[in-house]
Structure 1
Amino acid sequence: MAQESTADLDAAVETVFSQLTPAERVGQLFLVSFQEDDVGAESEIAELIQQYRVGGVYISAHNRNFFNTQNTPAQVLRLTNSLQNLAQTPPPITATATLTDSAAGAAGQSYTTIPLFIATIHEGDGFPETEIRNGMVDIPNAMALGATWNPENAQKVGEVVGHDLPLMGVNMLFGPSLDVLDNPRLDRGNGLGTRTFGGDPFWVGKMGQAYIRGVHEGSGGNLLTIAKHFPGFGSSDREINREVPTIFKSLDDLRQGELHPFFQVTTLDSGDSTAVTDGVMTSHVRYQGLQGTVPISFDARNLPALLALDELAPWRSAGGLIVSAPLGAPAALGSIAAGSQTFPARRLTQDAFLAGSDILFLDTFSFENDPDSRMANITDAILFFREKYRDDLNFQATIDRSVRRILRAKIKLYGLDLVNSTVLQSFENLDDLGAVEIDLDQIARGGVTLIAPGTEAGRPTLPNPPQPGENILIFTDDRHIRECPTCAEFRVVSTTALEEIILRLFGPDATGQVSDDQINSLSFADLKTWLDSNNDNASDKEAEIDALINEADWLIFGMLNVDPQMYPESDAVIALLRNRFDDLRNKNLILFAFNAPYFLGETEISQLTAYYAFYSKTPNYLEAAARLLFQQFEPSGASPVEIPAIGALDLSPNPAQILQLNPISEISTSGTITPISAPPNAEPLIDLEVGEGVLVRTGVIVDKNGHPVPDGTIVNFFRSYPLEGLGLGPIQSSTVNGVAETVILKERDTPLSIRASSDLAAQSEGLNIGPGIVDTPTPTITPTQTPTPTATPTEVPTQTPTATSEEPTTTPTSTPMPLLLQPPLPSRPVTFIDLIYSIAVSLTIGGIAFTLGGDRFILEERLRGALVALASGLVGYIFFTIIGMAFYKVDFVERFIRQNITDHWVAALFALVFSIVGVLVWHLKPGRVFWKKQSSKSTL
């Protein structure tokens, strides 16, 4: 995709828009799904594309558009080329006659060849969130990437997705998910599962940016990203698109939490356009704080208000797309047509469109996904929009705005000459599938997390790996699933998958650590059967399971998500630990979680010998589990979400670290900036005059897992003048990419010492500023972790496995704050010297007043005048201090303060003026005659 100028894009959009008929403009709004793989000229999808002019198609294995059995990429490319070919070919004349009068009239007009959006889901981890699996790279899911805490991994996976999908004709990706899973619960359902990068808004946004950047770079701009599920579904207690949850959060809470990742991926001024998403997909969710009664996807008041926020408005104005959540989902029907017997096709599409959606996603667009009524519902909605476009000028203007955004996106994909662009892909391109180099084994090992046990003296208390002669029994959640109602069953993980990998790596033909007869595999269904058995009447199968368990030294559990309603056997481990733990004593119980890590309670976790989270079930993660069992590497990941049984997600600064302080540049009183340099391994010498400043920057501040703290973490910079025993209040700054910085002013003509702290990380290096260097010993505490995002273990496949760790040199870089042309003001605009000067001036004026009244007033009156002068001068001093602290941002006040800091005369000037005014007011009060001398004659 070529990067065209804004003016060229605008001109190209208007050129194409002017060629479109009203029917073609309306059709561009609709992105539809269809059943099976029939794309012939007489098919329903051909009618929707050629005669109703829909602008996009969603393809999926669930709808049987293709099958993940063999040669799936070729199936998908054949399908997408056929769909695009339909869009490039006018319908036959005979087909037009079958339409209604309205549709026939539209179809009989000119036919503009506009390429289709062809969308799919490709979130990783195989079924169910990856539609195209066979023949593709097995990428991990978002949570597995989040557990590495390394955006480079997310970008690399995004690059794979971006490279491979366009080769099969896909040009729109529904993803990534930017939901913040901040409050997982064991007793409540949540449809997100592992479809989230984590539970911290900053890191979710950071990983989302990297993933989107990878998609755009891998595809060369030929794949659009539609980030989900705006404005955030992470706090929901309902399954996504099944029910409408109500989330009890205010707009401020949303801005700091759920919306923050969307702000990050829609920022246009970051200088990295590849990290900006092309669109967002709404969600069927209500937010109580927004005071809406309908889901945000249908809320014509609140959705536009969110899109008008300062953080989102520029992106929206630049052509950011809004795609509706699937309008045939049960959540949508439950909120619009609860109890209705008539499918509300018109109401669903109109409400979603008027709420702000540019693209209306019509998936399963009928009750119970009835194929006979689905087509009728789609065409009814399109014809309704055509009528509204013709009769309602406001509706027409709104459609035109959305169509221009859609055309802009398609021009970005296919070039300025959109109508004549080449959209069909060559089958030879399929040879390049998987060409992006990526080390999925390294990514898998980098995210593995030891959840339990805890550590002792900094190291986990784990047993040795299985030894020769020790029996291993593996239980695997090998649930059977169907991709579609008529599709054949298959297992998401084979019952013997782990066993086969262990024997391949450590069996007789490898290192010889395990023999065939000491390892057995059973399913979770077998385990549930054994738990439900009656010992007195046990079947042969149950007796066999009982014998294997009794003989086993190691029990390994490969667990997926726990959902007893959908998969009754999925809670087998929980049932075992709750009901039969006494039968498992003196055995090593190892749990491998190949899904979310938060399904076990505190008691169950405490009964395990070791609990590891892998987050994904792809082959690379299964192999990582086998290698970890034999301790070929140390787990280096950390859970990106809260685990209620373990504790909250704590990303606060590590209290064991020593914060580094680096002087970056000196700032003169005139605003001149001079970079500070120092010889290697030498502390820079900084000698500032009063009123000059220095830009101070911390090193990378890390959290308790050794990763950079989230943006916005508060850092306090403390200033003190040791020779005077004077400490000043802290200056607060916030981190960007783990780094904080601030400008500090030299206020006094003695050495200045600077330190920093952040939360419980209270130790820092000292930064000394002359004249005169104060030697300050560096605190000696336990050395902190090196502030690098990840550790990459290196596999050593030998008889005696060892683990080595490489730490990549990726260091978060800071985005410096704009430097001030003038150093900031100190916390106090006056000093003790100013008070002395002010008192001296006031006493002088008081003395003059006392002297001038020598032959006019009695002694008592003269003393009163002198005291008025002194009091008025002190009032002036206090007035200047208050003005300096309260109005220091006013230009002329700031100039006075800076002058006073340097020369100490401004405070005295205020005292002088107030003293003179006070004396004048005192002597000119009514009844007093200042100019008449007092009579020397006494009166009795």
Structure 2
Amino acid sequence: MLTRDLNKLLSEMSLEEKVGQLLLIGFEGRRPNREVAEFIKEGKVGGVVLLSRNAEEAGEAADLICVLQKLATAGSHALPLFIAVDQEGGSVVRLTEGVTVFPSNMALGATGCSDYALLAAEAVGGELASLGVNMNFAPVLDVNNNPRNPVIGIRSFGEDPELVAEFGKMAIKGYQNRGVATVAKHFPGHGDTAFDSHLTMPRVPYTMERLFQLELVPFQAAIACGVDCIMTAHLAFPAIEANPGLPATLSETVLTGLLRQKMGFDGLIITDCLEMQGVTAAVNPEQAAAMAVGAGADLALISHSLERQRAAHREIMESVRRGFIPLVRIEEAVGKILRLKQRLFTTEQSISSSGRSRQKVEVSRKLGVASAQNSAEENQSLARRIAADSLTLVRNEGGILPLKLQPNEDLLIITFRGRGLTLVEEGGGFVSGLFHSLRKRHLRIEERIVAISPEENEIDQIIRELKERRPGMVILATQDAGLYPGQATVVKRVAAAGFPSVVIALRTPYDLAAFPEVKTFIAAYGFRTTTLEALAGLLWGEFLPLGKLPVSIPGLYPAGYGLEGFD
């Protein structure tokens, strides 16, 4: 265990080892290759982030974590690794099998019950800790008030900064209750952008007054409640940083001046991945690592290239030797890292058990991991309850819902193929499942899966098929229709043709603005199995709708709106 005197430990570490603690790396494949393993054994890595490419199933993750920690603790100082994942819930989760996948943050916001955020985080945190994961890149504290935001959306709790702050605080408490370090993101705020920082550097053009009234509110609340870490965003904030080409991640004015000095944050500052184009448009990842550390970051995240990771280690070392980064800055960062590791590895996990074998983790592909605090069944039940309580019936003109199909009537589902719409989803995400949930309730059912933004010829074919089959009901499951105009065209043409239909937004509820003429509309905030099963129940009237919009639909409905019954 990390029970040694940390000041003494810090004094015994070489500069090479200290710089190694500042690197948070990722790698390809199910096991680290020889070169990655050697890099870890050399003491040049402070933590590892696991993505879906490394493990999707709980037992597999536990085995991998055991391997990684054994590599790290074989060194002279036996320092364990941070093991991090993005297990946000909803569209962004890395582990999908043998764990409980909870609905999205926006679904939580739609319930109006912040206790759900606490309970969900405790459930997820307990499952992660039982596998040896000690850091979750969550919660997302971005205030999503831009309908055209392509990367945050349902990852946000909503558009009200106070609601985001309250739900965020409860999530932080829940993870910490289970011994998992929390990482609030993406500072200073990625919610009001129309571009994805994986692909470019978005610009947030607002005044400091506006930022403190909106974007920064959840982060200030998180700091007040003791969040462990804050992750930076690769965005330009001209009101804070005068250099237009310098993203927040690399700005001393943002990280030290604003976050440390003005807002009083004393935890770890972690960069978002430095291989994202929001940074690499200006500098290469290894230069970015040195610049970020010099600006005030404590952990530099490089998720992919070992060559870049080794180069970053060399770049930071050279920057210290040449006086560009003061040694005191390195020691300050390492001190924070060691203190957090000491807390994590002396409360919940010993170094030897931080990655447990498959036999020691109770895993069920159907039910999930049973943590020490909750059974797998209890976690699954909680996820189902949240999903049901979040569903928001926005319109039910004509009383189509609940469905009243006769046994001989056909039900057709039109689903837009939305797998991995953003890079953060790693090509994963949506898997068609609404068909299976509805089939339990109605036998005459068929699903038509079409392109995310179908072209005119595909749309014409859909309408021809509908006219030939004359189904009793059409369900259209949209995904970010405002960003993919072909979806709106399909919905409008189905409505114009007079077919009875229900539109379900599987991501953000902003979709309704793209086809305001539709008569029946449900906001679901997600596409995972738990949400789809709840949707099927709502469509058949097995429970009443309770959810309220956590974001406004421009020109149509304010945040907080939602029908409280089918009438």
Report the TM-score, using the length of structure 1 for normalisation. 0.55
Distance 1:416 1:164, change over 3 A: closer
Q: Which residue of 2 aligns with 1:841?
A: none
Q: Which residue of 2 aligns with 1:588?
A: 500
- Report the residue type matching 1:285 in the other structure: L
Q: Which residue of 2 aligns with 1:46?
A: 37
Specify which of 433, 437, 453 is matched with residue 501 of structure 1. 437
Q: Which residue of 2 aligns with 1:19?
A: 12
Q: CA deviation at 1:325?
A: 1.7
Distance 2:349 2:529 in 1: 41
- Tell whether 2:286 aligns with 1:334: no
Is 1:113–1:419's contact at 8 Å kept on the other side of the alignment? no
Q: Which residue of 2 aligns with 1:285?
A: 235
Distance 2:344 2:122 in 1: 17
Distance 1:598 1:24, change over 3 A: same
Q: How does 1:646-685 map to 2 (within 5 A)?
A: 646-649=556-559
Specify which of 29, 39, 54 is matched with residue 65 of structure 1. 54
Is 1:12–1:416's contact at 8 Å kept on the other side of the alignment? no
Q: CA deviation at 1:288?
A: 2.3
Is 1:410–1:418's contact at 8 Å kept on the other side of the alignment? no
Distance 1:285 1:590, change over 3 A: same
- Tell whether 2:523 aligns with 1:613: yes
Q: How does 1:784-795 map to 2 (within 5 A)?
A: none
Q: Which residue of 1 aligns with 2:299?
A: 359
- Tell whether 2:325 aligns with 1:325: no
Distance 1:529 1:390, change over 3 A: closer
Distance 2:410 2:546 in 1: 28
Q: Which residue of 1 aligns with 2:540?
A: 630
Q: Which residue of 2 aligns with 1:263?
A: 220
Distance 1:291 1:483 in 2: 27
Distance 1:255 1:474 in 2: 44
Q: CA deviation at 1:386?
A: 2.5
Distance 1:705 1:500, change over 3 A: closer
Q: CA deviation at 1:563?
A: 7.7
Q: CA deviation at 1:307?
A: 1.7
Distance 1:360 1:622 in 2: 37
What is the number of residues matched between the two proteins? 550
Secondary structure in structure 1 of the residue aligned to 2:388: helix
Specify which of 320, 324, 338 is matched with residue 407 of structure 1. 338
Q: How does 1:156-555 map to 2 (within 5 A)?
A: 156-185=119-148, 189-217=149-177, 219=178, 221=179, 223-268=180-225, 276-293=226-243, 294-310=246-262, 312-313=263-264, 315-316=265-266, 320-336=267-283, 344-364=284-304, 374-392=305-323, 395-415=326-346, 423-431=354-362, 433-435=369-371, 436=374, 437-438=378-379, 439-453=382-396, 462=400, 465-468=403-406, 469-479=408-418, 492-494=430-432, 497-504=433-440, 506=441, 514=442, 516-517=443-444, 519-525=445-451, 528=454, 532=458, 544-548=465-469, 551-555=470-474
Q: Which residue of 2 aligns with 1:124?
A: 89
Which whole-Å deviations, capped at 9, do the CAs of 1:502-531 have from their partners, x for residues lacking one?
332x3xxxxxxx4x34x3322234994785
Distance 1:445 1:594 in 2: 14
Q: Larger Rg: 1 or 2? A: 1
Is 1:474–1:520's contact at 8 Å kept on the other side of the alignment? yes
Q: CA deviation at 1:16?
A: 2.1
Distance 1:346 1:481 in 2: 28
Is 1:190–1:240's contact at 8 Å kept on the other side of the alignment? no
Is 2:401–2:541's contact at 8 Å kept on the other side of the alignment? no
Distance 1:648 1:334, change over 3 A: farther
Q: Which residue of 2 aligns with 1:31?
A: 24
- Report the residue type matching 1:232 in the other structure: G
Distance 1:639 1:618 in 2: 19
Q: CA deviation at 1:35?
A: 1.5
- Tell whether 2:511 aligns with 1:559: no
Distance 1:609 1:474 in 2: 17
Secondary structure in structure 2 of the residue aligned to 1:289: coil
Distance 1:544 1:354, change over 3 A: same
Is 1:452–1:605's contact at 8 Å kept on the other side of the alignment? no
Q: CA deviation at 1:197?
A: 0.5
- Runs of 5+ in structure 1 lacking a partner? 2-7, 91-110, 269-275, 337-343, 365-373, 455-459, 507-513, 565-569, 651-703, 707-790, 794-801, 804-940
Which whole-Å deviations, capped at 9, do the CAs of 1:377-433 have from their partners, x for residues lacking one?
322221232234345396111101000000000000112999976534243431161
Distance 2:77 2:285 in 1: 27
Is 2:143–2:190's contact at 8 Å kept on the other side of the alignment? yes
Q: CA deviation at 1:124?
A: 1.6
- Report the residue type matching 1:169 in the other structure: G
Is 1:283–1:324's contact at 8 Å kept on the other side of the alignment? yes
Q: How does 1:484-883 map to 2 (within 5 A)?
A: 492-494=430-432, 497-504=433-440, 506=441, 514=442, 516-517=443-444, 519-525=445-451, 528=454, 532=458, 544-548=465-469, 551-562=470-481, 571-579=485-493, 581-583=495-497, 585=498, 587-601=499-513, 604-606=515-517, 608-649=518-559
Which whole-Å deviations, capped at 9, do the CAs of 1:342-377 have from their partners, x for residues lacking one?
xx344211211111100011123xxxxxxxxx3333
Is 1:137–1:434's contact at 8 Å kept on the other side of the alignment? no
Which structure is higher in RCO with an 8 Å CA cutoff and minimum separation 6? 2
Q: CA deviation at 1:553?
A: 2.4
- Report the residue type matching 1:112 in the other structure: H
Is 2:275–2:302's contact at 8 Å kept on the other side of the alignment? yes
Secondary structure in structure 1 of the residue aligned to 2:511: coil
Distance 1:205 1:642 in 2: 18
Is 1:158–1:214's contact at 8 Å kept on the other side of the alignment? yes
Distance 1:388 1:417, change over 3 A: farther
Q: Which residue of 2 aligns with 1:149?
A: 112
Distance 2:537 2:351 in 1: 54
Distance 2:190 2:197 in 1: 8
Distance 1:648 1:490, change over 3 A: closer
Q: CA deviation at 1:483?
A: 11
- Report the residue type matching 2:45 in the other structure: V
- Report the residue type matching 2:168 in the other structure: G
Q: Which residue of 1 aligns with 2:366?
A: none
- Report the residue type matching 1:53 in the other structure: K
Secondary structure in structure 2 of the residue aligned to 1:176: coil
Identity %: 26
Distance 2:314 2:391 in 1: 53
Distance 1:240 1:144 in 2: 24
Distance 1:483 1:462 in 2: 34
Distance 2:323 2:142 in 1: 37
Distance 1:267 1:327 in 2: 28
Is 1:146–1:197's contact at 8 Å kept on the other side of the alignment? yes
- Report the residue type matching 2:77 in the other structure: T
Distance 1:244 1:613 in 2: 30
Distance 1:86 1:530, change over 3 A: same
Distance 2:467 2:455 in 1: 11
Q: How does 1:84-99 map to 2 (within 5 A)?
A: 84-90=69-75
Distance 1:308 1:118, change over 3 A: closer
Is 1:176–1:225's contact at 8 Å kept on the other side of the alignment? yes
- Report the residue type matching 2:300 in the other structure: L
Q: CA deviation at 1:470?
A: 3.7
Report the TM-score, using the length of structure 2 for normalisation. 0.88
Q: CA deviation at 1:167?
A: 1.9
Is 1:475–1:558's contact at 8 Å kept on the other side of the alignment? yes
Is 2:233–2:271's contact at 8 Å kept on the other side of the alignment? yes
Which whole-Å deviations, capped at 9, do the CAs of 1:124-153 have from their partners, x for residues lacking one?
225xx1111122112111111111111111
Secondary structure in structure 2 of the residue aligned to 1:557: strand
